[in-house]
């Protein structure tokens, strides 16, 4: 018997099977040999929400949720947040190594040169209603981009793929800024590529023809760090969507639109918006204990707390907490920070949160920063989508280059009726059931 293997005895038949263990995992298809007779389908593994199923091998991002470790291509997130930039990290995620000076210049130049969007796309953005959610505009606009760049459908050509990556990373901030300006009835600012990635984005959002207009460097650096921290997080819901949709070999615009749609949900990229609404609902430091009691009774969830992979402090939350104070120096404080700090203090000492291993996640403080920078709350998921696109595209590229990957197609356990005969209308008596 091999040492790196798992012996499984099927008590229905008494037969024992030896299943190889590789990288601490067994291959689910190896279970299919466990059957009672040749017509039997074989054993499947059942894992709703992929709680313990690896759907890919990846060398991009490493997380140890118990030890609060997050690394991009081996580099600790803390070091990157201090020394690197969003665009440099995007390069690292996509190409596997930190760029040389020339590589970074070329990469930055390519992305910034693709910040302009087609005037037809501008018209599409302008056609949304004044109260359209900016995330809805972003998702639709990225999907629409597939109609502007028909060659993108050739996903097997690495050069064509690279060009779409430049376009997506370049144009997303422009789409987001234009969506914002349309909604507040202000004219668009076309990109100023000399201002850098985050600086140009803030400029497009904010500029109103002021003489000597400058984006405060502390704000563009803070936004760049937020972007860097959100760039990738291995197989989260939206990244898994990107891989799954991309596995059909659809163009990257359609796949990014699908991933962005996944990110829009309140349990994922919508969480910092939910945190802010929660802090506003709590309203004061004095009201925090009563709110925590409601969470403990199971009436509500503490938004910005808990994570599928972290059972300790999310390392991004610690960095973001520091960034918050840098931003407040420019913008003035945010009264919600005191409520957040008190909430965190009480929760971290409370048996309920300790026993469930619920700690602040990345979204707990990011909303407070974004609000202090005067972003409207519904822009928050958009500010998550822009940097996460780097991760989506890196994971998409890795998936396309991985010979082990095929079109994504989970199995199911069928729980419905066995075959039955069609019932004529006049013989149907049963009331409508809730069966789906």
User: Catalytic site residues?
Assistant: 268, 307, 363
Is 277 among the residues that bind ligand CMC (CB under 6 A)? no
CA-CA-CA-CA torsion for 175, 180, 186, 190, nearest 10 degrees?
Answer: -30
Contacts of 35 by beta carbon, 8 Å cutoff, 6+ apart: 41, 42, 43
Is 305 among the residues that bind ligand CMC (CB under 6 A)? yes
Is 361 among the residues that bind ligand CMC (CB under 6 A)? yes
Is 362 among the residues that bind ligand CMC (CB under 6 A)? yes
Cβ closest to ligand CMC, residue 12 vs residue 297 = 297
Judged by CB under 6 A, the stretch of 211-219, 299-307, 321-329, 427-435 that binds ligand CMC is 299-307
* Least Å from the CB of residue 310 to ligand CMC: 8
Is 273 among the residues that bind ligand CMC (CB under 6 A)? no
CB 400 within 8 A of CB 47: no
Q: How many residues bind ligand CMC (CB under 6 A)?
A: 20
Cβ closest to ligand CMC, residue 54 vs residue 267 = 267
Judged by CB under 6 A, the stretch of 28-36, 252-260, 303-311, 408-416 that binds ligand CMC is 303-311
DSSP states of 1-67 as a string?
A: --SSEEEEEETTTTEEEEEE-BTTB--GGGGGG--SSTTS-------GGGSS------SSEEEETTT
* Least Å from the CB of residue 317 to ligand CMC: 9
Judged by CB under 6 A, the stretch of 40-48, 338-346, 354-362, 397-405 that binds ligand CMC is 354-362
Q: Which residues pair with 305 in a beta bridge?
A: 360
Binding residue for ligand CMC, selected from 134, 196, 306, 391, defined by CB under 6 A: 306
CA-CA-CA-CA torsion for 234, 235, 236, 237, nearest 10 degrees?
Answer: 150
Is 267 among the residues that bind ligand CMC (CB under 6 A)? yes
Alpha-carbon distance of 271 to 259, in angstroms, equals: 16
* Least Å from the CB of residue 171 to ligand CMC: 23
Alpha-carbon distance of 258 to 138, in angstroms, equals: 11
Alpha-carbon distance of 102 to 91, in angstroms, equals: 12
Is 303 among the residues that bind ligand CMC (CB under 6 A)? yes
Nearest to 13 by CA among 31, 36, 30: 36
Structure-token match 């064509």, residue found: 160
Is 276 among the residues that bind ligand CMC (CB under 6 A)? no
Q: Is 279 helix (H, G, I), strand (E, B) or coil?
A: helix
Site string for ligand CMC, 211-240 (x = CB under 6 A): ----------------------x--x----
Is 307 among the residues that bind ligand CMC (CB under 6 A)? yes
Is 382 among the residues that bind ligand CMC (CB under 6 A)? no
Judged by CB under 6 A, the stretch of 64-72, 200-208, 261-269, 326-334 that binds ligand CMC is 261-269
Other Cβ atoms within 10 Å of 308 Cβ, number: 14
Is 271 among the residues that bind ligand CMC (CB under 6 A)? yes
* Least Å from the CB of residue 8 to ligand CMC: 28
3-state secondary structure 363-430: HHHHHHHHHHCCCCHHHHHHHHHHHHHHHHHHHHHHHHHCCCCCCCCCCCCCCCCCCCCCCCHHHCCC
| Residues at the site binding ligand CMC, with contacts judged by CB under 6 A | 233, 236, 267-269, 271, 295, 301-308, 356, 358, 361-363
């Amino acid at each position: 018997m091999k040492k790196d293997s798992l012996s499984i005895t099927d008590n229905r038949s008494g037969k024992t099977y030896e299943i190889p263990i590789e990288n601490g995992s067994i291959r689910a298809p190896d279970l299919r040999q466990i059957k009672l007779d040749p017509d039997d389908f074989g054993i499947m593994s059942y894992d709703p929400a992929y709680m313990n199923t690896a759907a890919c091998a990846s060398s991009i991002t490493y997380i140890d949720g118990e030890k609060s470790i997050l690394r991009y291509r081996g580099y600790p997130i803390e070091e990157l947040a201090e020394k690197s930039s969003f665009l440099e990290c995007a390069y690292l995620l996509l190409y596997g190594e930190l760029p040389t000076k020339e590589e970074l210049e070329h990469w930055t130049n390519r992305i910034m040169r693709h910040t302009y969007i087609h005037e037809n796309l501008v018209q599409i953005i302008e056609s949304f209603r004044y109260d359209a959610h900016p995330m809805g505009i972003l998702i639709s606009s990225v999907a629409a981009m597939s109609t502007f760049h028909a060659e993108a459908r050739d996903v097997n050509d690495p050069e064509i793929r690279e060009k779409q990556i430049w376009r997506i990373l370049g144009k997303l901030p422009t789409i987001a800024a234009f969506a914002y300006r349309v909604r507040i009835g202000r004219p668009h600012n076309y990109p100023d590529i000399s201002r850098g990635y985050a600086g140009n984005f803030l400029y497009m959002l904010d500029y109103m023809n002021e003489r000597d207009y400058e984006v405060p460097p502390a704000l563009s650096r803070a936004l760049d760090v937020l972007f860097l921290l959100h760039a990738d997080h291995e197989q989260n819901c939206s990244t898994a969507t990107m891989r799954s949709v991309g596995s059909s070999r659809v163009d990257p615009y359609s796949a990014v639109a699908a991933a962005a749609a996944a990110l829009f949900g309140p349990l994922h990229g919508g969480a910092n918006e939910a945190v802010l609404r929660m802090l506003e609902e709590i309203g004061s430091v004095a009201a925090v204990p009563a709110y925590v009691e409601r969470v403990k009774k199971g009436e509500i969830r503490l938004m910005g707390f808990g994570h599928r992979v972290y059972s300790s402090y999310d390392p991004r939350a610690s960095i973001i907490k520091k960034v918050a104070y840098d931003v407040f120096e420019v913008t003035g404080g945010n009264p919600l920070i005191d409520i957040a700090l008190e909430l965190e203090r009480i929760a971290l000492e409370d048996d309920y949160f300790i026993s469930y291993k619920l700690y602040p996640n990345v979204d707990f403080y990011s909303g407070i920063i974004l609000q202090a920078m005067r972003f409207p709350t519904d822009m928050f998921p958009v500010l998550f989508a822009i940097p996460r696109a780097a991760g989506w595209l890196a994971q998409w590229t890795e998936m396309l280059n991985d010979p082990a990957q095929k079109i994504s197609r989970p199995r199911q356990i069928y729980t419905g009726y066995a075959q039955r005969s069609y019932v004529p209308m006049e013989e149907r008596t049963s009331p409508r059931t809730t069966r789906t």
